[in-house]
Structure 1
Amino acid sequence: MVHRLRPVELDFVETAPVRLVFARGVTSSPEGVYRALAEDVEGWSEWFSAVSSAHLSEGGSGRRIRLRGGTCFEETILAAEPHEVYAYRVDVTNAPGVRALVEEWRLAPDGGSGTRVQWTVAADGTAAFRLVMKVSRTGLGRAFRDAVRKLDRRIGSTHAG
C-alpha cells in the first residue's frame, strides 16, 4: 500500500522524534563525494547495497528510489549545496508506519583532500515504526560504513583511470 507522508522541510533533521546520525571520513574530496550523491543518482546502486535502483524525477527536483526487498520512495530534493549538503524528503512510500522522513548528507573537508561524510536519518511514524528505527541503528550504521567505503573506492577508481 502506497501512502503520502507529511511534507516536512529541512529543519526536520533537527527536530524529528527519531534522529540517527552516522559519520565517517573518506579520502575522496568533498567535490567528488557531492558529485556521486547529487549528480550520479543512478550510480547509488553501485555503492549503497540497500539501493537496487535510483533515478532523478520531476525534472531533477526529485528522486525515485527502490530498495532491495521492494520498499520504494518518491522524494523531493530539499538541499543541494555543492560540496556541502545534499538532502531529500520522502513524499510517497510503501513502507508501513512512517509519517515523515528526511535524509541529509553533510560534507566537510577532513584534513588534506579528504571528506567527513555525515548522514542523518530523521523520521517520525507510529510507535512501532519509531521502535524499529531505533533498533535498526546498528544495522543502518553498518550499511552506512560499507556504503561510504565503497563510494570512496568508486570515486578513487573513477579518478585513477
Structure 2
Amino acid sequence: MFGTMQRGVNAYAKVGLETGVAAASPHKLVVMLYDGAMVALLSAINHMKSANATASIAAKGAAISKAITIIDNGLRASLDKSAGGEIAQNLDALYDYMSRRLLQANIKNDIAAVEEVHGLLSDLRGAWVQIGDKNEQPGAAGPAAAAAAPSFLHKATLLSA
C-alpha cells in the first residue's frame, strides 16, 4: 500500500513540475534550474552529515551529480556567449568552477565546498530574480522587455527543449 501511495505522490509531483515548466517564461526556467541545483546540493549536504555513511555515500554522489548536470547541461549549456559578451563568458567560467569544485567535494566528502557552491548559486539566483522583478514592474517597457532582458545570457530555446 505504501509503495502505491508513494508512486501516486511521485506522479503528482512530476505532473506539477511538467506543468510548471511548460507554463514558465524563459526567465522563470533559469530560476527553476538554480532552484533544482540548490535543492540537490542541500540533499548532498544532508547525506554527508548523515550517521548512516554506507547508505549516504551513494545518495550524496547522486545528489552532487544531479547538481553538476543542472549546472553543466542546463545553466552553462544555455548561455548565449555571443550575445552575452563578457558577462556570459564570466558566468561560463563560474559554472565551470562550480562543477569542478563539486566533483572535488564529492571525492573528498567536503561539505564546505558544497556549501560554497550553494552560496554562489544562491547569489546568482537572487540577482536573476531581481532582473525579472525589475522587468515585470509597471514602469518597465512591458512584457516584451521581461522576456527579452535576461535572454542575452541564457538561450530560451535550449531551456525549453
| Structure having the higher Rg | 2
Which has more helix, going by share of residues? 2
Same fold judged by TM-score > 0.5?
A: no
TM-score, structure 2 as length reference = 0.25
Scaled by the length of structure 1, what TM-score is found? Answer: 0.25
